Structure 1
Amino acid sequence: MPSPPDDTTARRIRHAFQQAATVLGVAADGAEERWGWESRSLSGPVAGNQWLRLLTAPVQRTRGGSWDGPQAAENAVPDTVPRPRLHAAHEWASEEHRYRAELYDRIRGIALSDGPLPPAGLRLPDAWWNSLQVSLSELSATGTDRVAIRQERLDWAMPQFLGPGVATEAPAWTTAHADIQWSNLAGPDLLVLDWERWGRAPAGYDQATLYISSLTDPEVAERVQQAFAPVLDSPAGRFSQLVVASEFLQGMQRGNNLELEGPLRRRVSLLLDSPGRSRG
């Protein structure tokens, strides 16, 4: 779980969190707080069985994209996709930082992991997997002009981290959550968390993300394969596995998820060595 930032940054963000609670008319006692990746968010419970999340970023980095993703998801994603519902939002800015406060239902379950990879011993009921299958299928058919993954990034990242000659043109594009890894899924009843990135992505990207991030646990990876075999085994799904692999390999240069490296490189070799697949 991410740690708090330095004292000066933490004081600034905690003060903004209390400001947000006041504006939105909820009481926050500070008894529980959860910091997001690189201290870009601070979340915690508030009165009324709700959850307050505060996003912060330098002013010049907060237009469109992930900044307004949750609000766009609330407006466009079908109600049948289980997720915490967004009830209110408030934005403001100082000279250097912009803030966005979002008030959600407090979820009944828990996030399944503190990071992208599955925790030891993770096992989930069939009903959970069935719900995820339906949710990703419905999401893929949701219309949006948001873009989660750009072709230009594929053209740069895939040769950079997978080697020259790898095919970079996606066979198809659909709508994706674009961050379906284990810290963004809750149980025992499915909830899909963190809708900052969602938008158009290579077809099969969500299923590929969950599969690649599960390779550290062969039983979990096999269960993902069983649930999403028609997608993962298709040309688009195999391509998306390579897209996700290139992203994880890039992160490993910064020391992230190093325990995944061995099984990930073995999977990449299998995908690239398949006759007629994945080479330009």
Structure 2
Amino acid sequence: MYSPPTTPADEHRALAAQQEASAALGVTVEGGQLWGYQGRTLGQRAHHPEHGACWLRLISAPTEHAKGKLWDGNRDAASVFPTVRKPALYGIHDGTERDGTAYRAELTAFIDSPTCAPEPVLTRELELPETWWKFLHTDLETIAATPTERVAVRQQWIDRALPHYAGVPAPAEIDWATAHGDCHFANLTTSGPTLLDFEGFGLAPVGYDPALLYAYSLLAPRTAARIRAEFPILDSPAGHTALLVVAADLLQSASRGDHPELIEPLSALVTSVAR
């Protein structure tokens, strides 16, 4: 999951693309490399003569898929959410295609605060101050109230996935709002919080972001209970819909081998919400 590419050739191409982007954006990379999901992204601290400490994030995709929502998300978010706490975007470099793979590098401000968790699934309890939750509320409310034509979760997918993966019928009516789309503790810093990785933002069922944060925290029950208390929408009809959609999404991922440890608690969540 969070690991280098599966082949040395893919890793070599990514490092070559990073070197090209570093020169184009005028930065020097330093420190350890942080690979993302299945090596699709590569992040590393960098130094820029004007901006100082930065973060250079390289994303890759097959050339025919290097467009649209995931490709442009962080670029679009820079202008769409000016008041949300997120890293400032300094520059973008679209690199040379390499063996059918396209690369884009994003240079952002370096956030000198660790994320709350190293991976999306939370496996330890968190103690976060009241101000942390207050600021998270403010930013998620701002995101939800921002109009967008981007789509994070499609109605057609919901119609198929809820019966197949959650064993429940898709709701006849759904309320929609803009969502970050990947709200988990590996995308939230311990101070602030700063919200990272906006590549998937778009329309989703109302309450989707707190529902996803909750589902990823089921193995840390005290923190999950805090999320449920902080976001009472999760106990409303709209919130129940969001929880079912999130559960179906993560159960689909688990069927492919991602986070199988969530299957049992997610199944219990579906039962509790759907009854």
TM-score interval, normalised by the smaller of the two chains: over 0.9
> Is the contact between residue 59 and residue 93 of structure 1 (CA under 8 Å) also seen in structure 2?
no
What's the offset of the Cα at 1:170? Answer: 4.6
Tell me, yes or no, if structure 1 residue 206 matches structure 2 residue 209: yes
Partner residue, 1:23:
24
From 65, 69, 79, the equivalent of 1:75 is 79
> Is the contact between residue 78 and residue 139 of structure 1 (CA under 8 Å) also seen in structure 2?
no
What's the offset of the Cα at 1:255? Answer: 2.2
Q: Distance in 2 between matches of 1:83 and 1:174?
A: 20
Q: Distance in 2 between matches of 1:192 and 1:101?
A: 19
What's the offset of the Cα at 1:272? Answer: 1.0
Partner residue, 1:99:
103
From 187, 195, 198, the equivalent of 1:195 is 198
The amino acid that maps onto 1:11 is H
Tell me, yes or no, if structure 1 residue 56 matches structure 2 residue 81: no
Partner residue, 1:264:
266
Tell me, yes or no, if structure 1 residue 182 matches structure 2 residue 206: no
What's the offset of the Cα at 1:261? Answer: 2.0
Q: Which runs of 5+ in 2 are unaligned?
A: none
Q: Which runs of 5+ in 1 are unaligned?
A: 274-280
What's the offset of the Cα at 1:120? Answer: 1.4
1:7-22 alignment runs, 5 A limit: 7-22=8-23
From 235, 238, 247, the equivalent of 1:236 is 238
Render the CA deviation track for 1:150-179: whole Å, top value 9, x for unaligned. 10110111111122x513445200000011
Partner residue, 2:224:
221
Partner residue, 2:117:
113
Render the CA deviation track for 1:6-44: whole Å, top value 9, x for unaligned. 211111100110110100011124x31111111111110
Q: Distance in 2 between matches of 1:60 and 1:167?
A: 32
Superposition TM-score, scaled by structure 2 size: 0.94
Partner residue, 2:32:
32
Q: Distance in 2 between matches of 1:113 and 1:169?
A: 36
> Is the contact between residue 112 and residue 187 of structure 1 (CA under 8 Å) also seen in structure 2?
yes
Render the CA deviation track for 1:90-140: whole Å, top value 9, x for unaligned. 113426121111000000111111221223132111111111111111110
Q: Distance in 1 between matches of 2:172 and 2:89?
A: 35
Render the CA deviation track for 1:159-208: whole Å, top value 9, x for unaligned. 11122x51344520000001101111111320101111001111110011
Task: Provide the secondary structure at the position in 1 that maps to 2:121.
Answer: coil
Partner residue, 1:152:
156
The runs of at least 4 consecutive aligned structure 1 residues that moved more than 6 Å come to none
Q: Distance in 2 between matches of 1:59 and 1:199?
A: 23
Q: Distance in 1 between matches of 2:63 and 2:238?
A: 37
> Is the contact between residue 170 and residue 239 of structure 1 (CA under 8 Å) also seen in structure 2?
no
Aligned length: 269
Q: Distance in 2 between matches of 1:259 and 1:97?
A: 32
> Is the contact between residue 61 and residue 101 of structure 2 (CA under 8 Å) also seen in structure 1?
yes
Q: Distance in 1 between matches of 2:127 and 2:70?
A: 31
Partner residue, 1:139:
143
Superposition TM-score, scaled by structure 1 size: 0.92
Bigger CA drift: 152-161 or 168-177?
Answer: 168-177
Q: Would the alpha carbon gap of residues 2 and 232 (structure 1) be closer, same or farther in structure 2, given more than 3 Å must change?
A: same
What's the offset of the Cα at 1:55? Answer: 0.8
Q: Distance in 1 between matches of 2:195 and 2:79?
A: 16
Task: Provide the secondary structure at the position in 2 that maps to 1:192.
Answer: coil
Task: Provide the secondary structure at the position in 1 that maps to 2:27.
Answer: coil
Partner residue, 2:248:
246
The amino acid that maps onto 1:77 is F
> Is the contact between residue 78 and residue 138 of structure 1 (CA under 8 Å) also seen in structure 2?
no
* Aligned sequence identity (%): 38
